[in-house]
Amino acid sequence: MSAPEPVRPDSPNLELDCRDLRCPLPIIELARHLGEVAVGETLAVVARDPAALIDVPAWARMKDQEYLGDDLTGDGVARFWVRRRS
Amino acid sequence: MSNSGRVAQTPPPVVWDAASAQALHPAAREVLLAALDAGYADPRRLHGAGRSARLLLDNAREVLAQGLGVRPDEVSLTSSGTDAVHRGLLGLLGGRARVASTVVRTAVEHSSVVHAISWAQAREVVVGVDRSGRAAPEAYAAAIAAAPAPVALVATHSANHEVGTVQPVEEVAAAIGGVPLMCNAAASAGRLPLPNGWSIATASAHKWGGPAGVGILCIRKGTRWRNPFPADDRIDERGCGFENVPSALAAAAALQATIAERKDVNTLHFRLIEKIRTRVAALPDVEVVGDPTNRLPHLLTFSCLYVDGEALVTELDRRGFGVASGSACTTSTLTPSHVLAAMGVLTHGNIRLSLPWVVPPAEGTQGPTSGIEADVERFLTELPLILGELRSRIGLA
């Protein structure tokens, strides 16, 4: 039903710990730190906020970045991946 | 507040939340006041006051049926739109219990539909929607074909209460063969004609300027429906509790007036929403959602990046605009709207505005429309300022 998972490296070039931040702060952190990775590199945001599952891909679409799907951190918190495209 | 002697020119607050509740239509107010005295009695009684109440109740049912394009004996009055959905859906499930128990529904149904299915512990198959919020007719057929057990009913809505997208109800009815269709028409009833093809249709009077506490349950003649709740010995055995005759009559009066006025009002609303839609879509980092043309005339939903929905609603309220939001931070559950989530659109910084019922004046005369036109202009001036201010606080302006 879902699209095939895009290929992700083993670990992101930058990981943002937003597990205790409420919507829309994880997205704000993504936007703030996008410039800290090079084009083609990845950044990921760790978030418990239930809106992140929808808002990270929506943000990537609106800002023309590539959403790479989600996985879990070692302690079981969702982590959402983005590749900087521009 | 100030000692300069000037009076602040604050415009009166406007409430752009008709999709939650619309102010009582003037025609309904008159009828309601009269019926409070004339229609208080038990309509089952044979005394004069009882017969008066019965007459008013029958009259209300007839006017409602006429307005909705159905037979009077297909209309039942319930205590709310939610109650109508519960009775309609569960009664249809009950009527089909021997042959099927699975429900097919869209991912963007009103929560009353979702909760009723869950309460019944029925198996469900959810039909996804596209980015605009529309579920394709062939997707229902595919869901029925793929369902692990026979399907008892298909639930769709006429138009979405959160994003305004109109669903292709009649095409869905044609696509699902003989499976009964339940159509929750609460978001569109009154403003738009009821679509065809359903076995059960539901609506709520306070969405068209009737009083709250009047739900409409239409059961198409010949539908197998079984009362899911304890029976009550009333005139209409499908409902429950003492009939609210004054409100029923007021709801009917509001519907009648709304239908008489809707061509002009819908035209005005459609144009104003199109204007707001175009201007808001041009703002930076804003996503306007829902179908741009195949939609409710009076409703617009959009989301703004990096902005907290609660802060946005509060700022708009402070500047005199009452609007709704589907953002997580504005809900009791702190989860984002399941409608926005199913559409895959941004959920934070979300605003839904739905314009109030304003009847345009005759050509060439000044009337209340100039007020709503000015409100729209003021909104379009204020919104970018608010977004700029909220975003500059976090350094993302």
DSSP A4-48: PPPP--SS-SEEEE-TTPPTTHHHHHHHHHGGGS-TT-EEEEE--
pLDDT value for B368: 61
Within chain B, residue ranges assigned H as helices are 26-38, 48-68, 81-95, 111-119, 137-146, 169-175, 245-281, 309-318, 338-343, 369-393
> Whole-model pTM?
0.93
CA dihedral (A3, B294, B284, B316) positive or negative: negative
Residue with tokens 């707001």: B276
pLDDT value for A1: 45
pLDDT value for B9: 64
| Contact A28/B at CB under 8 A | yes
pLDDT value for B2: 45
| Contact B342/A at CB under 8 A | no
Tokens of B281: 């879509």
B285-316 pLDDT, tens digit per residue, is 999 999 999 999 999 999 999 999 999 999 99
B43-102 pLDDT, tens digit per residue, is 999 999 999 999 999 999 999 999 999 999 999 999 999 999 999 999 999 999 999 999
pLDDT value for A26: 96
pLDDT value for B363: 67
Helix (H, G, I), strand (E, B) or coil at B388: helix
| Contact B305/A at CB under 8 A | yes
Measured between beta carbons, the chain A residues lying within 8 angstroms of B394 are 28
Measured between beta carbons, the chain B residues lying within 8 angstroms of A69 are none
Residues 6+ away with beta carbon under 8 Å from B261: B357, B359
A18 catalytic per annotation: no
User: Nearest-CA distance from A54 to chain B in Å?
Assistant: 6
In this complex, do B394 and A62 lie within 8 Å of one another by their Cβ atoms? no
Cis peptide before B180 (omega within 30 of 0): no
Chain A interface disruption, residue of B346, B350, B393, most A CBs within 10 A = B346
Chain A interface disruption, residue of B129, B285, B305, most A CBs within 10 A = B305
ipTM: 0.92
One digit per residue, the tens of pLDDT, for chain A of length 86 reads 455 667 888 899 999 999 999 989 999 999 999 999 999 999 999 999 999 999 999 999 999 999 999 999 999 999 999 999 99
Count interface pairs A-B at CB distance under 8 A.
64
In this complex, do B347 and A28 lie within 8 Å of one another by their Cβ atoms? no
In this complex, do B345 and A58 lie within 8 Å of one another by their Cβ atoms? yes
Closest-CA residue of A relative to B286 is: A62
**Mean pLDDT in consecutive groups of 10 residues from the start of chain B, 397 residues:** 55 90 96 97 97 98 98 98 98 96 98 97 98 98 96 98 98 96 98 98 98 98 97 92 97 98 97 98 97 98 95 96 87 84 96 94 67 95 97 88
User: Nearest-CA distance from B46 to chain A in Å?
Assistant: 58
User: Nearest-CA distance from A49 to chain B in Å?
Assistant: 8
Tokens of B395: 């350094």
Find the catalytic residue in A14, A23, A37, A51.
Answer: A23
d(CA B309, CA B166): 25
Tokens of B171: 């095409």
Which residues 161-220 on chain B approach chain A with CB closer than 8 angstroms? none
DSSP B73-118: GGEEEESSHHHHHHHHHHHHHHHTTTT--EEEEETT--HHHHHHHH
Residue with tokens 């099927």: B100
pLDDT value for B367: 61
Q: Which of B389, B375, B44, B23 is nearest to B210 (CA)?
A: B23
d(CA B56, CA B29): 15
Which residues 44-63 on chain A approach chain B with CB closer than 8 angstroms? 49-51, 53-55, 57-59, 62-63
| Contact B391/A at CB under 8 A | no
Closest-CA residue of B relative to A2 is: B128
Closest-CA residue of A relative to B128 is: A1
Tokens of B1: 């507040």
d(CA B360, CA B265): 7
